[in-house]
Amino acid sequence: MTFDYQRVYQHGTLALLVPGLFTGTLSVADLLTHGDFGIGTAHGLAGEMIILDGQAYQVTGEGQVNQLAPTDMVPFATVHFQAPELPNQTLGTVTKAELEAQTLAQQPLKNLFFAVKVTGRFKKMHTRAVEAQQEPYPNLTDATRVQPEFEQDGVTGTLVGYYAPTLYQGAAVAGYHVHFLNTAHDFGGHVLDYVIEDAQLTVQPFETFEQHFPSQDTDFLNSDFDLKAINADIEEAEH
């Protein structure tokens, strides 16, 4: 089997979460046919999902890490196949802000989607995880008003996520959106901040952004999206 390393695949759009369309519309099994690394959320906005080496994990609002089953459903996720021969950069002490700026400064990548993967030891990792919502679902702003945060010092693990160009705000979070899972699989989430101590970085740019829609979901089909409100709500909920 050959994989398309130039393609990033997304199910759902970030914007559909804004009015509260949290129903899972694609199975984890189907999602994993499009990539072996990625991020997303589970049915009901249940936590922060991270996909590592073809396994989908969920960090819950309680901070627990569960492995998702192939039959679990997701409303929104982005995945790609990690290319085997990417240049590896060794990182010493570097902050999140420094690494994100350096990555964009090294190559003209600002108008492409690209994946970042950092594996190694972090001096500090600060995450958060959204709590699962019950129907009838609130909108994203209400669902994310209170989000438990977690912090660990001296933690080993893997950070995975994406950079999306400014033009794609709404489809995704414009800029960086990354999740983390530690090696022990008991700590992780949506990354707020970190300081790397000693790690390996790979950057994988994509030629193609494949946007898959929940075309059988009547709530999605009937939703009216307000672009201005979506922008403001994404900024509030995701940054």
Contact 192, 149 (CB under 8 A): yes
Of the candidates 232, 54, 69, 40, the one whose C-alpha atom is nearest the C-alpha of residue 139 is: 232
Nearest distance, CB of residue 144 and Zn ion, angstroms: 10
Q: How near is the Cβ of 49 to Zn ion at its closest, in Å?
A: 8
Of residues 184 through 223, those in contact with Zn ion by CB under 5 A are 190
Size of the residue set binding Zn ion (CB under 5 A): 1
Do the Cβ atoms of 62 and 146 come closer than 8 Å? no
- Name the DSSP class of 81: P
126 or 190, CB closer to Zn ion?
Answer: 190
- The answer to whether the beta carbons of residues 132 and 60 sit under 8 Å apart is yes
Q: Is the Cβ of residue 106 or residue 145 nearer to Zn ion in the bound state?
A: 145
Stretch that binds Zn ion, among 27-35, 183-191, 192-200, 228-236 (CB under 5 A): 183-191
Shortest distance, position 178 Cβ to Zn ion, whole Å: 8
Residue numbers 66-105 binding Zn ion by CB under 5 A: none
Kindly tell me which of 160 and 201 has the beta carbon lying closer to Zn ion. Answer: 160
Q: Which residues are CB-contacts of 83 (< 8 A; sequence separation ≥ 6)?
A: 5, 204
Closest CA relative to residue 132, chosen from 114, 144, 123, 121: 144
Shortest Å, Cβ 52 to Zn ion? 15
**Which residue minimizes CB distance to Zn ion?**
190
Residue 130 or 203: the one with the smaller Cβ distance to Zn ion is 130
- Measured from the CB atom, the residue of 3 and 175 that comes closer to Zn ion is 175
Q: What is the DSSP letter of 145?
A: S
CB of 80 or CB of 190, closer to Zn ion: 190
Q: Smallest gap, in angstroms, from Cβ of residue 77 to Zn ion? A: 11
Output the six-digit token pair for 64: 């627990």
CB closer to Zn ion out of 117 and 190: 190
SS3 225: coil
State the nearest-atom distance from the C-beta of 1 to Zn ion, in Å: 29
CA angle 85/90/56 to nearest 5° reads 60
Residues 100-139, interacting with Zn ion (CB under 5 A): none
Distance between CA atoms of 94 and 190, rounded to whole angstroms? 19
CB of 84 to Zn ion, least distance (A): 26
Question: How far is residue 138 from each of residues 22, 45, 113, 213, measured CA to CA in Å?
Answer: 9, 10, 30, 21
Binding residues for Zn ion, per CB under 5 A?
Answer: 190
